[in-house]
């Protein structure tokens, strides 16, 4: 039996396992890097299920082939029509997926942060099956990289989960998302799968360094969700097998770093594409089509943006616009499927503004010499709404706990933003705020818990 903790994150994946020495460590998933961006690019969408079928083993593979007979037939047709060679790489992950998308955005199929979609309401069975294939393909890739570094293949895993995958119909949403993750993990080769709340996992990692007992509020702000947990932890608690009584408050909602990127793209970049322009009638252009473009974490918004109806609407808006040159940029963005790239530019601006007061955004991939300056105040104003939601989750967790913590432990990649850090300090003045391993704490905590669960 080989056990591990698997952080299948919205922004990055990480996996921790125990080596022969008995010590746990995060394994390398992309070259020398232990964090793999949660992205996938397929030369053709139909080839994702083919890759899954080829990567599976045993009876599960036979069952999968029978279940996916239709999609697999489509994959064979596409492979034949496009002339793909048998040994040609058709799926790319992590930074390679970004590179493929940026070089040919109008071709292939690109998905970033699929975890954001798993709890979406209204998914048809075919859509659920498609997301199962995407997650399975990503997990197969991670597991193969991990297995190559271990003495035996991984068989048991604890996977991190947010408190809520979606805000609406949370119970049904959570069930759907957990079922997709379970199916994918087992198809990827894990025999046993357990789940643990991500903020609790992060807290378990932090607890290893405490020398005194503390009540800690763990604020885990990831790419897709913000989760808060109030936990009693320290030397007297960490060896207990049952920790349920120690977790005295927890809340979570689907608001995270992706929402900051979307708000920055919408407020700071979309005006360059006509979102604030007027029609010849004097009325503003319909805003929804622009919002759909950058709301890359919403299935229905992306379906609407990529539809034929949107193309027809944009042609009409171009005829009616007082600033057609701006609409032409947006139409190019639409035709070339570069909306994910625009949100990526906003994300990179957010990261850059953690260390400086202004940043020049290069948008030459849309139009030669097009660029735009974003300063720190622009960013702070743009992300005010999602940051306020994050802080309200702290309030809810404290209300559940019925007591104030001794300190604040902040983790998650998006928690590095100085805007968020300042908001937390303003809400909890006088409390010590400890910065954790923003990317690795959840995976490390899941690995600690896997040893408890499976041993």
Residue range 308-362, pLDDT digits in tens: 999 999 999 999 999 999 999 999 999 999 999 999 999 999 999 999 999 999 9
Is 80 exceeded by the pLDDT of residue 21?
no
- 325's enclosing H/E stretch is helix 324-335
Q: Please tell me the predicted confidence (pLDDT) of residue 179.
A: 98
Supply the mean pLDDT for the chain: 94
The Cα-based distances of 298 to 70, 166, 263 in angstroms read 26, 11, 14
Mention every residue, 6+ apart, whose C-beta is less than 8 A from residue 201: 5, 7, 158, 160, 441, 442, 443, 444, 445, 446, 448, 449
User: Do 3-190 and 210-257+385-434 share a fold?
Assistant: yes
Instruction: Report domain extents, the chain.
Output: 3-190, 210-257+385-434, 258-383
Q: Residue range 161-175: average pLDDT? A: 88
Q: Can you tell me the distance from the alpha carbon of 454 to that of 371, in angstroms, rounded to the nearest whole number?
A: 53
SS3 content of the chain, % helix, strand, coil (to 5): 50, 20, 30
Closest to 131 measured CA to CA, from 184, 172, 187: 184
Q: Please tell me the predicted confidence (pLDDT) of residue 259.
A: 96
Closest to 411 measured CA to CA, from 397, 421, 425: 421
Structure tokens at 157: 């895993």
Q: Residue range 284-298: average pLDDT? A: 96
Q: Please tell me the predicted confidence (pLDDT) of residue 239.
A: 80
Q: How confident is the model at residue 410 (pLDDT cuts 50, 70, 90)?
A: very high
Q: Can you tell me the distance from the alpha carbon of 87 to that of 108, in angstroms, rounded to the nearest whole number?
A: 18
Structure tokens at 330: 């947006």
Structure tokens at 337: 């499927």
Q: Can you tell me the distance from the alpha carbon of 55 to that of 189, in angstroms, rounded to the nearest whole number?
A: 9
Asked: is 210-257+385-434 a CATH 3.40.50.720 domain? The reply is no
Q: Residue range 198-226: average pLDDT? A: 93
Is 70 exceeded by the pLDDT of residue 440?
yes
- Torsion (CA) 138, 140, 143, 148 in degrees, nearest 10: -120
Quickly name the fold that domain 3-190 has.
Answer: Nucleotidyltransferase; domain 5 (3.30.420)
Angle at 180 between CA 243 and CA 293, to 5 degrees: 110
Q: Please tell me the predicted confidence (pLDDT) of residue 59.
A: 84
DSSP state of 118: T
Mention every residue, 6+ apart, whose C-beta is less than 8 A from residue 415: 219, 220, 221, 421, 435, 438
Angle at 44 between CA 43 and CA 45, to 5 degrees: 125
Angle at 222 between CA 220 and CA 224, to 5 degrees: 130
Is 90 exceeded by the pLDDT of residue 30?
yes
Q: Please tell me the predicted confidence (pLDDT) of residue 20.
A: 66
Token look-up 């992309």 returns 30
């Amino acid at each position: 039996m080989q056990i591990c903790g698997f952080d299948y994150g919205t922004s990055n994946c990480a996996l921790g396992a125990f080596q022969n020495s008995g010590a746990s460590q995060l394994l390398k998933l992309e070259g020398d890097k232990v964090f793999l961006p949660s992205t996938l690019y397929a030369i053709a969408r139909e080839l994702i299920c083919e890759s899954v079928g080829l990567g599976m083993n045993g009876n599960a593979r036979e069952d999968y082939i029978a279940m996916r007979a239709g999609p697999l037939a489509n994959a064979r047709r596409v492979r034949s029509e496009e002339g793909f060679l048998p040994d040609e790489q058709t799926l790319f992950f992590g930074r390679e997926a970004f590179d493929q998308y940026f070089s040919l955005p109008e071709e292939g199929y690109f998905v970033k942060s699929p975890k954001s979609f798993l709890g979406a309401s209204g998914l048809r069975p075919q859509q659920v099956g498609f997301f199962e294939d995407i997650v399975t393909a990503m997990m197969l890739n991670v597991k193969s990289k991990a297995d190559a570094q271990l003495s035996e293949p991984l068989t048991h895993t604890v996977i991190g989960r947010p408190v809520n995958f979606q805000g609406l119909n949370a119970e049904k949403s959570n069930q759907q998302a957990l079922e997709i993750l379970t199916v994918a993990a087992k198809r990827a080769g894990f025999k046993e799968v357990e789940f643990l709340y991500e903020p609790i996992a992060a807290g378990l990692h932090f607890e290893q360094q405490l020398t005194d007992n503390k009540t800690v509020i763990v604020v885990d702000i990831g790419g897709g969700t913000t989760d808060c947990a109030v936990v009693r932890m320290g030397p007297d608690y960490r060896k207990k097998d049952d920790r349920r009584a120690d977790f005295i408050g927890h809340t979570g909602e689907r608001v995270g770093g992706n929402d900051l990127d979307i708000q920055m793209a919408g407020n700071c970049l979309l005006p360059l594409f006509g979102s604030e322009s007027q029609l010849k009638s004097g009325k503003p252009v319909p805003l929804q089509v622009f919002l759909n473009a950058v709301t890359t974490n919403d299935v229905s918004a992306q379906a609407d943006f990529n539809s034929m109806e949107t193309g027809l609407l944009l042609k009409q808006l171009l005829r009616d616009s007082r600033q057609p040159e701006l609409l032409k940029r947006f139409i190019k963005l639409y035709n070339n499927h570069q909306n994910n790239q625009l949100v990526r530019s906003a994300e990179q601006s957010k990261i850059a503004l953690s260390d400086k007061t202004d940043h020049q955004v290069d948008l030459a991939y849309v139009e030669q010499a097009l660029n735009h300056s974003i300063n720190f105040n622009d960013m702070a104003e743009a992300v005010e709404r999602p940051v306020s939601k994050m802080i309200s989750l702290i309030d809810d967790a404290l209300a559940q706990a019925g007591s104030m913590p001794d300190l604040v432990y902040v983790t998650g990649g998006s928690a590095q933003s100085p805007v968020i850090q300042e908001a937390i300090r303003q809400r909890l003045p006088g409390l010590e705020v400890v910065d954790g391993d923003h990317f690795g704490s959840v995976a490390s905590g899941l690995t600690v818990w896997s040893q408890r669960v499976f041993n």
